[in-house]
Amino acid sequence: MKNFYAEITGWGKCLPPATLSNEDLSTFLDTSDEWIRTRTGIENRRISHVNTSDMATVAAQHALACAGKSADEIDLIILATCSPDSLIPNAASKVAQNLGIAAAAAFDLNAACTGFVYGLETATRLIQAGNYRNAIVIGAERLSFFIDWTMRDTAVLFGDGAGAVVLTRTEEQVGLQNAQLGCDSAGRDILAVPKFGTCMDRFAADNGHWDFNFVGKEIFKRAVKGMGAAAQNVLARSELSTDDVDVVIPHQANIRIIQTLCDLSGISQDKAFVNIQKYGNTSAATVPIALCESLEQGFVKPGDNLLLAAFGAGLTWGASHLKWGERVTPLGKSDAQLPECELSALELVKDAVEHCKNRP
């Protein structure tokens, strides 16, 4: 029996055009650019004027062009998101429809910020089973939908965006080599939107105003512990030392978490690709967007060993070892883009800010 692997042959991203800066936030929150930057590393974040599936579609179109694949060659779509357009049907089916894919398997996967790492493992194992040849794995989020714009600790952190990769079956030993996924369920309440779902009282007067639980210090501690343990486990399985790691693609949640993860793992911070300053925390989209930009900027070289690490609500966590192939440039390009946005980011969030301030 042949051993199959799943090579990343295409990559793409989609960032909505409206940028909400730290200075913008300071116009309606008790905060400042200096306060946000020194605590998080974030300077800007994007606010979407379209649905999650729209961003996911554009990212997928860029990834397909990069891979030199047509949509009808795709037989599996996994959309990692905790902010889908709808619960029924799933948002992945909308992406399939947008791409003109008639019969591929398509499903959403919710592991919050760890979603893309979960999706990459899932798609790889399905391809290795021999039933699928080409898959699209997408991380896409419209987190601005959930934000309570009166809560400084969380309102400054999150942004919108999407990233995608195409996985192609191969007999060469490239792509995902090892992964370790897990969930620290004892901490699930410290990072949560606890009453959004069937536990919501549909008829309550404040319906539409939900809590966003965020215990920062405890999240920091558990995030570093979970990602660090997963990373060590993955490297041990792959028989790699920290010196063998060429590039780290970490979840972009907080610059301090990224730095601490590298320090505790014994990996130089210079090996970590960081773009949190531009986009903030885009949850499941952070890792694929960072992966895409690391390739665009020449950060990843042929044959590199990549370490991916993420954590999220649940508290989910995971790490992956990727062996990169020979190609680090696109086979083609797409002109896909979102519809034009005529509003500024402040204008896009204006009504939401007012609703949050006047919560019943």
Q: What DSSP character marks residue 340?
A: P
> What are 298's two structure tokens?
């020449």
Whether residue 281 lies in the annotated active site: yes
Catalytic option among 251, 254, 262, 292: 251
Measured distance between the N- and C-terminal CA atoms of the chain, rounded to whole angstroms: 63
H helix and E strand count, the chain: 11, 13
Between the CA atoms of 114, 278, 191 and 195, what dihedral angle is there, to the nearest 10 degrees?
-100
Single-letter code of the amino acid located at 136: I
Task: Scan for tokens 């809560």, then name that residue.
Answer: 151
Whether residue 356 lies in the annotated active site: no
Whether residue 49 lies in the annotated active site: no
Largest CA distance in the chain: 63
Reduced to 3 states, what is the DSSP secondary structure of residue 148? Answer: coil
Query: Up-side HSE of residue 22: CA atoms within 13 Å toward CB?
Result: 19
Task: Scan for tokens 């512990």, then name that residue.
Answer: 225
Q: From CA 21, how far away is CA 118, in angstroms rounded?
A: 31
Report the phi/psi class of residue 158: left, alpha or beta, with left for phi > 0 and alpha for psi in -120 to 50. Answer: beta
Q: From CA 225, how far away is CA 241, in angstroms rounded?
A: 19
Main-chain dihedrals φ then ψ at residue 247, nearest 5 degrees: -140, 135
Catalytic option among 51, 134, 254, 281: 281
Catalytic option among 113, 183, 262, 292: 113
Sign of CA dihedral 184, 190, 193, 195: positive
Query: C-alpha distances in angstroms, 156 versus 35, 127, 198, 278, 355?
Result: 10, 39, 28, 12, 17
Single-letter code of the amino acid located at 25: L
Q: What DSSP character marks residue 150?
A: T
Q: Are 46 and 21 in contact (CB under 8 A)?
A: no
Task: Scan for tokens 């003109």, then name that residue.
Answer: 100
The residues annotated with a catalytic role in the active site are 113, 251, 281
